[in-house]
């Protein structure tokens, strides 16, 4: 089944998605990563995207849709996708439904990681990501893990868009634009809400229960 992992930036979607990928052979499709990849490649599209992301705004639905369709149409990913950070507004939710239908797929679970603004701010400001293995750690909370990190701590870097001003702007954008999508999904039978401030392992367990059904 395909899964949507929902929650404001910093809710722990990336960490949980990594776990599902590793243990259930899923493919994580993060629109944020797809967009950052365009920036890295320094394409014309990438330059345009960089400006939008640095302001904490949303990239246009058309751009996101093009990048996303490339993943949905890939047979290797069929029914094994975790959508991370997508859909972010109602139009994207409709596009997703259409695109999945076109490729004979659907959404099996919608998991919402619910976390307060206070916690999210702390998490985003301290977040560091390993350039080599993609592991996410927090410089305020994970001292031991940072020291012992297998790839070496020199690979642990802050994301360019992780600072207080951008963090709050991203949270506000989320609340304003993504909340309606959440309301839209919350009535569906596939919707599950999990307290995202719980221990990572506890959340993993709850998600595993959902995947077993």
Backbone angles phi, psi at 14, to 5 degrees: -60, -45
Residue closer to ligand AMP (CB basis): 196 or 208? 196
Which helix H or strand E contains 157, and what residues bound it? Answer: strand 156-157
Residues paired with residue 128 on neighbouring β-strands, in sequence order: 137
Q: Is 64 in the site for ligand AMP (CB under 6 A)?
A: yes
Say if residues 107 and 124 touch (Cβ distance below 8 Å).
Answer: no
Choosing from 3, 20, 39, 53, the residue that interacts with ligand AMP (CB under 6 A) is: 53
Residue closer to ligand AMP (CB basis): 26 or 86? 86
Choosing from 6, 86, 112, 171, the residue that interacts with ligand AMP (CB under 6 A) is: 86
CA distance 82 to 62: 20
Choosing from 111, 170, 194, 207, the residue that interacts with ligand AMP (CB under 6 A) is: 170
User: Least distance from C-beta 80 to ligand AMP, angstroms?
Assistant: 20
User: Least distance from C-beta 195 to ligand AMP, angstroms?
Assistant: 20
- Which range binds ligand AMP by CB under 6 A, 85-93, 94-102, 189-197, 198-206? 85-93
Residue nearest to ligand AMP (CB): 32
CA distance 203 to 188: 21
Residue closer to ligand AMP (CB basis): 149 or 170? 170
Say if residues 116 and 3 touch (Cβ distance below 8 Å).
Answer: no
- Which string of b and e fits 71-87 if b means at least 16 CB within 10 Å? bbeeeebeebbbbbbbb
Q: Is 9 in the site for ligand AMP (CB under 6 A)?
A: yes
Q: Is 181 in the site for ligand AMP (CB under 6 A)?
A: no
Q: Is 35 in the site for ligand AMP (CB under 6 A)?
A: yes
Output the CA torsion sign for 210, 135, 199, 117. Answer: negative
């Amino acid at each position: 089944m395909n899964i949507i992992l929902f929650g404001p930036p910093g809710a722990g979607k990336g960490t949980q998605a990594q776990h599902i990928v590793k243990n259930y052979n899923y493919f994580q499709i993060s629109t944020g990563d797809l967009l950052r990849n365009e920036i890295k490649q320094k394409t014309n599209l990438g330059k345009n995207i960089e400006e939008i992301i640095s302001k904490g705004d949303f990239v246009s639905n058309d751009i996101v849709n093009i990048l996303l369709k490339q993943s949905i149409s890939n047979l290797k990913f069929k029914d094994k996708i975790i959508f991370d950070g997508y859909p972010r507004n109602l139009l994207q939710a409709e596009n997703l439904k259409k695109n999945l239908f076109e490729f004979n797929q659907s959404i099996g679970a919608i998991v919402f990681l619910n976390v307060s603004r206070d916690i999210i701010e702390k998490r985003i400001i301290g977040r560091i990501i390993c350039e080599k293995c993609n592991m996410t750690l927090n410089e305020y909370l994970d001292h031991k893990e940072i020291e012992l990190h297998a790839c070496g701590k020199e690979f642990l870097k802050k994301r360019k868009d992780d600072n207080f001003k951008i963090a709050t702007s991203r949270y506000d954008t989320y609340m304003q634009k993504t909340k309606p999508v959440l309301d839209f999904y919350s009535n569906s039978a596939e919707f599950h809400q999990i307290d995202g401030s719980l221990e990572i392992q506890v959340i993993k367990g709850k998600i595993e229960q959902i995947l077993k059904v």
